[in-house]
Structure 1
Amino acid sequence: MKEVVTHSYEETLSIAGDYAKTLPKGSVIGFVGGLGMGKTAFTTGFVKGLGIDADVSSPTFAICNDYIGKNDRVYHFDMYRVESWDDLYSTGFFDYIDTDAYILAEWSENIFGALPDDAIIIEIEKIDNDSRKFIFKSKSDYIGD
């Protein structure tokens, strides 16, 4: 388990960008944290860290945003409204899970059982208006909480 505290949006972008460079293609990240916690900010830094030039936005209404770079692809899901396996299938999640694309899923607690065993869970805690604590766990460590 690893914990990182950021004190600004820019710091969040930086740590996420650095983190992206450490993960192999096909990695799956599930975010756990409420509204306004920094899930999309982290994703923005992650995408930029892979060298993808894209305007990252919350996939709240699109369900999935796709960011394509020269060598990498990121699927950014919002699972907030997913309440059943049928809902999850309709998002296209299973079409992407076995590719070499990175998958970042907001509200991953709603699809926890569908995440691969090697998924990384990032819990986000709000410290104050600008500061966040990012707690990186394996899926099995998260289950143990």
Structure 2
Amino acid sequence: MTAITFFLETETETLDLGRKLAALMRPPFTLYLSGELGAGKTTLSRGIVQGLGHEGAVKSPTYTLVEPYELADVEVYHFDLYRLNDPEELEYMGIRDYFSATSLCIVEWPEKGMGLLPEADIQLHLQYADGGREVRIEAKSIKGQALLNNVK
């Protein structure tokens, strides 16, 4: 599988990349987002959710662990596992039920849930670079590779 890298100077560019990715995603699809605090994971997630048709606010599910968005043709689940103390907590919330044939799942801090999360189709890593953000997108499945081929 391959990877591509983008440099994003502004929050608007981060939102635009999210919208571009959203246009290429079809359920079932799992996206992992990793990077330091404040690197832009939630901003990118906001672009994706809005790109899929959500018109309201997109907030970080830091305290709730998951924020659902029921859209016309897709169920979107935005996870933020930053505050997760033990991956076993995911079992108690019925984590497997979220990853269905009709869902698109965005997971921030996926390393906190390893062992209980399904494999990602793509993994994005955001990091600070030269006053902006560098985003590395890596395909982890055939479906992820197809998306990557079209996002270039």
The TM-score bracket by the shorter chain reads 0.7 to 0.9
Aligned residue for 2:56? 54
Equivalent residue number for residue 134 of structure 1: 135
Q: CA deviation at 1:118?
A: 4.6
Between stretches 30-39 and 87-96, larger displacement belongs to: 87-96
**In 2 relative to 1, CA 59–118 (structure 1 residues): closer, same or farther, beyond 3 Å?**
closer
Which shifted more, 35-44 or 75-84? 75-84
Aligned to 1:143: none
The TM-score normalised by the length of structure 1 is 0.86
- The whole-number CA distance in structure 2 between the counterparts of 1:17 and 1:93 is 26
Alignment of 1:103-118 (within 5 A): 103-118=105-120
Deviation at 1:136, TM superposition (A): 0.8
Aligned pair 1:81/2:73, yes or no? no
Q: Find 1:99's aligned residue among 89, 98, 101.
A: 101
CA positional deviation for 1:114: 3.0
SS at match of 2:63: coil
Among 65, 68, 87, the residue aligned to 2:67: 65
Counterparts of 2:66 and 2:78, CA distance in 1: 5
How many Å separate the matches in 2 of 1:4 and 1:91?
Answer: 35
- Confirm or deny: 8 A CA contact 1:52 1:72 kept in the other structure: no
Distance 1:43 1:128 in 2: 22
Stretches of structure 2 that go unaligned for 5 or more consecutive residues are 142-152
1:52–1:70: 8 Å Cα contact kept in structure 2?
Answer: no
Q: Tell me the amino acid that sits aligned with residue 100 of structure 2.
A: D
The change in CA–CA distance for 1:37 and 1:13 in structure 2 (over 3 A counts) is same
Identity, in percent, stands at: 30
Aligned-pair RMSD on alpha carbons? 1.8
Structure 2 vs 1, CA of residues 82 and 137 (structure 1 numbering), >3 Å: closer, same or farther? same
State the partner residue of 2:25.
23
User: Structure 1: which 4+ aligned runs deviate by more than 6 Å?
Assistant: none
Q: Report if aligned partners of 1:75, 1:103 keep a CA contact under 8 Å in 2.
A: yes
Once the two structures are superposed, what CA deviation does each residue of 1:66-100 show, in whole Å capped at 9, x if it has no partner?
A: 11222222101111233434211123321111231
Displacement, 1:112? 3.0
